[in-house]
Structure 1
Amino acid sequence: MKGPTPGVPMICRQNLKHLQAIKAVPAVSILLPTHRTSPDNKRDPIQVKNLVTEAKNRLSQEFKQRQLDPLLQNLEALVAEIDYSYALDGLALYVSHDFAKLYYLPFPVRARVVIDQTFATRDLVYGLHRAERYWLLLLSQGETRLIAGTGETLEEITDEAFPMVMSGPGATSPLPYHADSSYLDDRHRQFFQQVDQALANYAEGESLPLILGGVVRQISFFQEVSQYAAAVAGTITGNFDKASLSELAPQVYPIFQSIRETRRSQSLEELAAAVDAQRVVSTIGEAWRFAHEGRGKTLLVEKNYHEPATVCEAGRLELAAEPGGVGIMDDAVDEIIEVILAKGGDVQFVEDGALALHQKIALILRY
């Protein structure tokens, strides 16, 4: 079980929103699958080099060298930062004249170079939804641990808040002479209230599933006092004070799979109900229009659906034969996804062929 290198931000909604807010000409996105182990990871630097060369060649056809110098300097510096020994399943590089960011991804992505007026974030969005994100909270009066889960990848939070240690009577000092078992139970409830408040600083309004671990009694106490009791998607029982991430993964993964399948099933059921209520539009053109009007509640899209396109003067979407050129969006589906999220909607990816009746994309409307 491997987490990203220190200093590289985890992919979260905050990172995603920041990337989506950046508008630059050109905005270069380079994405590729990588490998966690040798000897497969020996090929990763070669693929990065090839994609960087492709990006430079495409840029040189559309811009003068003097215009490109700041961007190319950022790109070279970013490539030099890559530590292939920390590679996960994918890599994303985002570069403009005044921005450069590298992400190690705990999910695979399709190798490609995208040159546009915004960064290509579809792969990140897809990864966040496909490799379901969740929290794993291991409860203990010794050390309560918080672990961020993204699919099969677990990364432990270690900062000023976590691991959180219970202090005071019954923990770091003796119980009062008159104390009974109910006194110690209340002390545990108070401690888990503190844990719950600390968790809120990481959740930041996101409704992510929560998996709890610990002895049954402590799990029960936490659920009594937690504002996130309704988000609990499953539990693992035992003492996990010293458990490694690799030891935790096999116990957590079945719960994660259940979370993912439940969400996909719910989305397709919601689509069927919306069809009956005539609150669905299909085809990429209709999804584009209603998304920009702010009427999109939930976008469902097949996971490998991509469409290059342009926008005409009237604001309609017109499909292009192939990507290329600043005036052509490499992927209009990516743009629709960004609009839906920016306007408070949700996005769910489904298997290829699941939306055949809707031409690969369907938008459930708010009204």
Structure 2
Amino acid sequence: MNNAFIGIPGELLKPHASPCLSIFMPTHRTFPDNAQDSLRFKNLVTKAEADGISLVGKREMAPLIERLRLLQDDASFWKHTLDGLAVFISPDYFRIFRLQDSVIEQARVSDAFYVRPLIRIYQTVERFQVLALTRSEVKLYEGTRDQLDEIELAPEVPKTMTEALGTEVTPPHMTVASYGGTGAAMRHGHSSRKDEEALDNERFFRAVDQGIAEYHSKPSGLPLVLAALPEHQGLFRSISRNPRLFDAGIETDPGALDLEAVRQKAWKVMEPYREQKIDQMIARFREAEGKNLGSDNPYAIATAAVAGNVSLLLLDGRKFWPGQIDPASGDILLDEASQASGRDVLEEMGAAVLARGGEVIVLLPERMPTESGAAAIFRHA
């Protein structure tokens, strides 16, 4: 089970033992709206079971359905849902995503996972993480301009100074001496309390930086905004080796901010970066287009995507094109059957590009450089 809102992991795009079950459904954050979520999940599991039995047989489906029924009956899980849920299970894989966006309810059984609904959620340029850091506590948030949620820290990331340093938290070193033969004791610190705290801070922050970089920033690839007091900002940045850490941060005590205030302040940091990044991507596309290394023609893009010839794909996050792409030729299929499947040509383009090591970015319509809903930079002409 995984609660982090990381980008689409490459493991989902790789081949897995068949059958592969993909379940998506909208969920709710609070009672009483979330009271029916487990029942809706039960119905989706029942559908997946029936479809799977007709496809591969009851024996192959039974162990997968058993694991899903355990999740269905986990009352504590359904009390802590967000706005959507995605579940992927096969004989060699099981992963759960709590989503910050609602999704269309569906259950699919195939020889590969159906990841396309995740593309519009996880490939947006607006996603970021916030590290809230004090001497006594560490929290990590992830979200977009509209929604921010706390995520569970990896076990390797210390959550407190005591957890990071244990008994090695530096105590003040004292000696006792008698003066004037009176027996009066006077205590002398070999180093000041301030120096000791600075040493503890440095060791603590170094451990946090290493854990966040390795177990959160590296797998997610998301920019990281630091929320901390000004004096802690300077120290943390001086020791950090995290390439995802932003130069700008939230210079205040994060413990004094509620979640909404953190989101607002973080977005003020992120927004200029987002606009600059979009401008750079559009400029790259225009330059590539002028050299016949870019296109907004969906048919050309689909063929190139299947062939592994797309390095960057920009998609309109609001445009939906019913249909599908032939996985072998890249032909776009717009017949009645393919349109009735509920599949989306643009999302299938994105999935093909991601599966072949390309980058996919979902933009708002007003920032798209084309009218077609897609813009691609090719690896070669």
Task: Give the TM-score, by structure 2 length.
Answer: 0.74
Q: SS at 1:172's partner residue?
A: coil
Distance apart, 1:219 and its partner CA? 0.9
**Is 2:372 the counterpart of 1:359?**
yes
CA distance in 1 between counterparts of 2:6 and 2:244 reads: 22
Alpha-carbon distance change, 322 to 254 in structure 1, aligned in 2, over 3 angstroms? farther
CA distance in 2 between counterparts of 1:184 and 1:156 reads: 27
**Is 2:87 the counterpart of 1:93?**
yes
CA distance in 2 between counterparts of 1:95 and 1:195 reads: 32
Distance apart, 1:308 and its partner CA? 3.5
Bigger drift between 35-44 and 130-139 goes to 130-139
The equivalent position to 2:282 in structure 1, one of 253, 268, 281, is 268
Equivalent residue, structure 2, for 1:120: 114
Equivalent residue, structure 2, for 1:27: 20
Is the contact between residue 295 and residue 375 of structure 2 (CA under 8 Å) also seen in structure 1?
A: yes
CA distance in 1 between counterparts of 2:327 and 2:213 reads: 44
Alpha-carbon distance change, 55 to 206 in structure 1, aligned in 2, over 3 angstroms? closer
Write out aligned runs for 1:98-177 (5 A). Answer: 99-130=93-124, 132-140=126-134, 142-143=135-136, 145-151=138-144, 152-157=148-153, 159-165=155-161, 172-174=170-172, 177=190
Distance apart, 1:232 and its partner CA? 0.7
Is the contact between residue 233 and residue 255 of structure 1 (CA under 8 Å) also seen in structure 2?
A: no
CA distance in 1 between counterparts of 2:207 and 2:67 reads: 43
Distance apart, 1:319 and its partner CA? 0.6
Larger radius of gyration: 2
Equivalent residue, structure 1, for 2:233: 219
Structure 1 unaligned blocks of 5 or more: 1-6
Is the contact between residue 323 and residue 330 of structure 1 (CA under 8 Å) also seen in structure 2?
A: no
CA distance in 2 between counterparts of 1:53 and 1:214 reads: 48
Is the contact between residue 302 and residue 352 of structure 1 (CA under 8 Å) also seen in structure 2?
A: yes
The equivalent position to 2:210 in structure 1, one of 175, 184, 197, is 197
Equivalent residue, structure 2, for 1:38: 31
Is the contact between residue 33 and residue 91 of structure 1 (CA under 8 Å) also seen in structure 2?
A: yes
Alpha-carbon distance change, 72 to 164 in structure 1, aligned in 2, over 3 angstroms? closer
* Aligned partner letter, 2:101: F
Alpha-carbon distance change, 135 to 115 in structure 1, aligned in 2, over 3 angstroms? same
Is the contact between residue 300 and residue 348 of structure 1 (CA under 8 Å) also seen in structure 2?
A: yes
Q: SS at 1:234's partner residue?
A: coil
The equivalent position to 2:323 in structure 1, one of 267, 287, 308, is 308
Q: SS at 1:231's partner residue?
A: coil
CA distance in 2 between counterparts of 1:330 and 1:153 reads: 29
CA distance in 1 between counterparts of 2:114 and 2:62 reads: 22
CA distance in 2 between counterparts of 1:205 and 1:96 reads: 22
Distance apart, 1:30 and its partner CA? 1.8
Is the contact between residue 214 and residue 236 of structure 1 (CA under 8 Å) also seen in structure 2?
A: yes
* Aligned partner letter, 1:30: I
Is the contact between residue 302 and residue 325 of structure 2 (CA under 8 Å) also seen in structure 1?
A: no
Equivalent residue, structure 2, for 1:4: none
Equivalent residue, structure 2, for 1:3: none
Equivalent residue, structure 2, for 1:287: 301
Structure 2 unaligned blocks of 5 or more: 174-188
Is the contact between residue 4 and residue 152 of structure 2 (CA under 8 Å) also seen in structure 1?
A: no
Is the contact between residue 25 and residue 105 of structure 2 (CA under 8 Å) also seen in structure 1?
A: yes
Deviations 1:257-309 (A, max 9, x none): 55555544443343333333432133343223323433322111122435433
**Is 2:244 the counterpart of 1:234?**
no
Deviations 1:23-63 (A, max 9, x none): 35443322122111233323434543444454455556656
**Is 2:349 the counterpart of 1:336?**
yes
Is the contact between residue 322 and residue 344 of structure 2 (CA under 8 Å) also seen in structure 1?
A: yes
